Chain A
Amino acid sequence: MINEVRNTVLSILNKNNYGYISPSDFNLFASQAQMELYEEMFSSYNKIITMENRRESGVGYADLRRTYEEAMEIFISNKPLQNFAGSVFLLPSAITTGDEYYMMVKVICYPTVLKTGANTSVVSFQLVSTTANFLTANIVPGDVVVNTTTNTIANVVLVSSNTVLLLDNNIFTTTPANFLVLKASAAVEAEKLTQSKSTLLNTSMLTTPSTLFPAYTQQATVMTVTPVSYKIPGQVIANYFRYPFVPKWTYINLAGGEPVFDQTQPDYQDFELSPDYEYKLATKILEYAGMSIRETEVVQFGMTQQAHEQPSFSVQQ
């Protein structure tokens, strides 16, 4: 999609000889535009909920909420959190989970660890451990397997034998890799607590966090889960909205100096927003580009197009 957006932007700019934006400038504007639209999705979603409560939104083809949910859920990530110390876990980040988190949706804690160990050989979509005893560990399809070495998760599809589990994700590609099998049916959701409430809550008899009703607080780059029994690496899994990856229009230089799009470059990254955002991305980038080349007409054009594109509810709010 990124090449189509760039072509559209350049086409509009060139039409009236407004100027040209370089690939590096385009990439900066593209990243900025994507981030702006990404954040706008959340506020728009909130407005749709308000509309629904006022009975101003329908179902079926008129279900705006579902459209937004589907567009947003592209960015959902589900990853085990790395253990920092005790029941303190590192929040998702480029270093710990490979992506930065925008908003935590839920934190799942697994109180029951069915099996731990290390794999002994590598077979695609399987966990093989000759020392394990999967059948007697009461593992059933649906249970969660965490590769604590690579911090990846999969679900059990079938307990093939005492030593082999079939998985729905190929998470064991090296050996030895440590694993953890967690009882899925025992999963509980940890509640987010603000620092201001945590002391009161922890000292109240009726609301103190327990294994069934755990809670967590965030500070800096870590979260502290209570009760402290949740301390095993892999036992806490975060479900969160990650930030979109930074888009990058990559190219090769031809003899004439004209860059030509090349998506085989290792650092190539397309827009992650759904295709219906293509038009919005182009107009948003045009706005930035217009400011860059000091062409107010381009800025106004971009803004006019965006205003035209906004759904009617945003005017009403």
Chain B
Amino acid sequence: MAYISQYQYYENNGATPENENWGSYQYVSLQDIVKNFQLMYAGNHSLVNNEERYRILFHAKRAVQELNYDAFKEIKVLELTVGSNLRYILPSDFVNWVRISLFRDGLLRPMTENVQILSSSAYLQDNKANILFDQNGNILEPQNSQIDMERLRGTKRNIYLNPGGMFDGQYGWNVDGNWYFDYGIGARFGLETEVANFNPTFAIDKKAGVINFNSDMSDQQCIVEYVSDGMEGGDDSLITVNKLFEKYVYAYIQYEILSSKLGVQEYVVARARKEKSALLRNAKIRLSNIHPGRLLMSLRGMDKWIK
């Protein structure tokens, strides 16, 4: 991609959208990556030769995907209202979640992933527990399983300290500000921190492509922070890589091609692998932005008096 004028950068040459090029200088496009690799790393006198472009393109995209999973700090955020079905359909480019929060009263309240089962499929059965089939031999399924129905009705209990928790609605005694319940006495000592969260809980059903919540989330705003694979819905023109990782992407492509090529000496492959790993470490350190100003803020806490 060619360098652009200041006018084009700030105002997109008067065209819309105005912010088309804002921040674009941080990135190098996929097209440039592939072109540069073909020019500089592949050819008659290079380690990589006689390789079709689609192979280079494939490995370049794989590099972008890998970087998006754990190296880039490019978290996508999507806010949606959870309806009465207590379901949040995963974003179209969702690969993995980072944090899921309830947004209420101007505050983000990070939620806990429910380790219990929140949703299940079910089969229809007769009164002798035999599974029922239709005339084609397919199993008959109810619209909702029992566990789903209870969750949707708000009657499902859970182990968390929220309105659906096991102590919620139970009789107890308040002694000196602490609550005591009948069946809690002797059952355990102290607080189980893993479940000590008042906020609603969620569980991700990856195959179904939804996040299931408990009944507290009905009609609430949910904010999902997640990572994608950077493929931008298949639009190659939008795929970019932070310049800090540019050299790493070249090294990655080179290593992937050399390591799968017949007749390449093992020491050449090893050299390519080491270079790739070293460049990834360097880029991660650079991207972590460790600089004195930030460290200073943290280190100021060093002189605090601990009472």
Contacts from A to B (Cβ < 8 Å): 49, 52-53, 185, 188-189, 191, 193, 197, 201, 204-208, 210-213, 215
B15 shortest CB reach to chain A, Å? 10
A201-B44 in contact (CB<8A):
no
B159 shortest CB reach to chain A, Å? 40
Closest A residue, CB atoms, query B235 = A210
B54-A215 in contact (CB<8A):
yes
A212-B62 in contact (CB<8A):
no
A191-B53 in contact (CB<8A):
yes
Q: How far is the CA of A205 from the CA of B61 in the complex (A)?
A: 10
Q: Tell me the chain B residues, 52-108 only, with Cβ under 8 Å from chain A.
A: 52-54, 57-58, 61-62
Give chain B residues whose Cβ lies under 8 Å from the Cβ of A49.
44-45
> 15 A–B contact pairs at CB < 8 A?
A49-B45, A189-B53, A191-B52, A191-B53, A191-B54, A193-B54, A206-B57, A206-B58, A206-B62, A207-B58, A208-B234, A210-B235, A212-B236, A212-B237, A213-B34
Give chain A residues whose Cβ lies under 8 Å from the Cβ of B52.
191
Contact residues on B (Cβ < 8 Å of other chain), bracket:
10 to 19
Is B197 an interface position by the 8 A CB rule? no
Q: Out of B2, B54, B61, B234, which one reaches A201, CB within 8 Å?
A: B54
Q: Tell me the chain B residues, 146-164 only, with Cβ under 8 Å from chain A.
A: none
**B231-262 to A contact mask, C-beta < 8 Å, 1/0:** 10011110000000000000000000000000
A56 shortest CB reach to chain B, Å? 13
B237-A213 in contact (CB<8A):
no
Is B31 an interface position by the 8 A CB rule? yes
Give chain A residues whose Cβ lies under 8 Å from the Cβ of B62.
206
Q: How far is the CA of A204 from the CA of B231 in the complex (A)?
A: 14
Contacts beyond the supplied A53-B45, A210-B235, A211-B237: 15 A-B pairs with Cβ under 8 Å = A49-B44, A49-B45, A53-B44, A193-B54, A197-B54, A204-B58, A206-B62, A206-B231, A208-B234, A211-B236, A212-B30, A212-B31, A213-B53, A213-B54, A215-B54
Q: How far is the CA of A189 from the CA of B57 in the complex (A)?
A: 13
B54-A52 in contact (CB<8A):
no
A142 shortest CB reach to chain B, Å? 11
Closest A residue, CB atoms, query B31 = A212
Q: Out of A185, A188, A205, A207, which one reaches B54, CB within 8 Å?
A: A207
Give chain B residues whose Cβ lies under 8 Å from the Cβ of A185.
2
Closest B residue, CB atoms, query A138 = B13
Q: Out of B30, B44, B45, B234, which one reaches A205, CB within 8 Å?
A: B234
Closest A residue, CB atoms, query B38 = A189
Instruction: Tally the A-B contacts, defined by beta carbons under 8 Å.
Output: 43
Q: Out of A189, A191, A204, A213, which one reaches B236, CB within 8 Å?
A: A213
Give chain A residues whose Cβ lies under 8 Å from the Cβ of B61.
206
A52-B44 in contact (CB<8A):
yes
Give chain A residues whose Cβ lies under 8 Å from the Cβ of B31.
188, 212-213
A52-B45 in contact (CB<8A):
yes
Give chain A residues whose Cβ lies under 8 Å from the Cβ of B34.
213
Give chain B residues whose Cβ lies under 8 Å from the Cβ of A52.
44-45
A277 shortest CB reach to chain B, Å? 24
Q: How far is the CA of A185 from the CA of B237 in the complex (A)?
A: 14
Give chain A residues whose Cβ lies under 8 Å from the Cβ of B45.
49, 52-53
Q: How far is the CA of A205 from the CA of B34 in the complex (A)?
A: 17
A42 shortest CB reach to chain B, Å? 14
Q: How far is the CA of A85 from the CA of B140 in the complex (A)?
A: 51
B44-A213 in contact (CB<8A):
no
8 nearest A-B pairs in the assembled complex, by CB-CB distance? A212-B236, A207-B54, A210-B236, A191-B53, A49-B44, A206-B61, A212-B31, A207-B58
Q: Which of B31, B52, B54, B234 has the most CB of A within 10 A?
A: B54
A264 shortest CB reach to chain B, Å? 44
B2-A213 in contact (CB<8A):
no
Give chain B residues whose Cβ lies under 8 Å from the Cβ of A215.
54
B76 shortest CB reach to chain A, Å? 19
Q: How far is the CA of A103 from the CA of B61 in the complex (A)?
A: 30
Closest B residue, CB atoms, query A185 = B2
Q: Out of B30, B44, B57, B235, which one reaches A207, CB within 8 Å?
A: B57
Closest A residue, CB atoms, query B43 = A49
Give chain A residues whose Cβ lies under 8 Å from the Cβ of B53.
189, 191, 213
Q: How far is the CA of A133 from the CA of B61 in the complex (A)?
A: 40
Q: How far is the CA of A205 from the CA of B235 in the complex (A)?
A: 11
A44 shortest CB reach to chain B, Å? 14
Give chain A residues whose Cβ lies under 8 Å from the Cβ of B58.
204, 206-207
Closest A residue, CB atoms, query B46 = A53
Closest A residue, CB atoms, query B54 = A207
Q: How far is the CA of A189 from the CA of B54 in the complex (A)?
A: 12
Give chain B residues whose Cβ lies under 8 Å from the Cβ of A207.
54, 57-58
B128 shortest CB reach to chain A, Å? 48
B145 shortest CB reach to chain A, Å? 33
Q: Tell me the chain B residues, 215-245 only, with Cβ under 8 Å from chain A.
A: 231, 234-237
Closest A residue, CB atoms, query B53 = A191
B34 shortest CB reach to chain A, Å? 7
Closest B residue, CB atoms, query A111 = B237
Q: How far is the CA of A208 from the CA of B233 in the complex (A)?
A: 13
Give chain A residues whose Cβ lies under 8 Å from the Cβ of B231.
205-206
Closest A residue, CB atoms, query B62 = A206
A213-B234 in contact (CB<8A):
no
B41 shortest CB reach to chain A, Å? 16
Give chain B residues whose Cβ lies under 8 Å from the Cβ of A53.
44-45
Q: How far is the CA of A222 from the CA of B249 in the complex (A)?
A: 36
B14 shortest CB reach to chain A, Å? 12
Q: How far is the CA of A275 from the CA of B240 in the complex (A)?
A: 50
Give chain A residues whose Cβ lies under 8 Å from the Cβ of B44.
49, 52-53
